Amino acid sequence: MIKEQLEKIISEIPKEVALIAVSKTKPNQLILEAYDAGQRDFGENYVQELVDKATQLPKDIRWHFIGHLQSNKVKYIASFVYLIHSVDSLNLLKEINKQAIKHNRVINCLLQIYIAKEETKFGLSFDEASEILQSEVLKELKHICIKGFMAMASNTDNTDQIIQEFKSLKQFSLKFPELSVLSFGMSSDYTLAIQEGSTMIRIGSHIFGTRNYTK
Ligand SMILES: *Cc1c(COP(=O)(O)O)cnc(C)c1O
């Protein structure tokens, strides 16, 4: 099942677009099924769950952190996380840098931008992101590398609205040509996302089935 779903998605998307399999709430056994089908990039939203899975699962998995990240929890993932998609403040960048120094590595990050017309989504405005990218403090943080931007569109059936939101991010990103990674598009909207210039899609339920949060 998972293998077929992965193969189907991969056959539909351009080679340059990276596929992150979002495995939050899903057991190791299903992650291994995807792994055995060749998938290596997985996304998780919760620090404790990510730490447990990273300990138990194959070491060549690239773990993407895509959930809201609190500064005091960075230390738990700093030794191994491959890319943090959800950076939403300069303070968080400072903490990631501090923890990266302890592990003698550079941690790749994306700035999460708020593009949705909803109250509930985390992220920076375009102005706040510009401010961070132009700040003097950022230049001193040698153990982080900002690669691009992440965003989530509104949870709506209004395709035009989703397209407009994606376009706004793509447009903004053009001001920073060296930040070329654009992480947007989920199970419901990844086709639109790729049309609008996404380079990294984050797919959960289309690969693993719907999630059950009650367990
Ligand atoms: C859960 C989640 C996804 C995957 O959502 P699906 O709709 O299951 O594909 C992608 N991105 C983020 C930030 C998420 O929290």
pLDDT in tens, 40-83: 999 999 999 999 999 999 999 999 999 999 999 999 999 999 99
69 Cβ below 6 A of ligand 1 = no
207 Cβ below 6 A of ligand 1 = no
What is the atom index within ligand 1 of the atom nearest the CA of 187?
9
Q: What is the model's pTM? A: 0.97
Helices (H), the chain: 2-12, 28-36, 47-56, 74-77, 90-102, 126-134, 136-140, 159-173, 190-195, 205-208
205 Cβ below 6 A of ligand 1 = yes
CATH numbers and ranges of domains, the chain: 2-203 (3.20.20.10)
Q: Is residue 215 over pLDDT 60?
A: no
Distance 183 CA to ligand 1 centre (A): 11
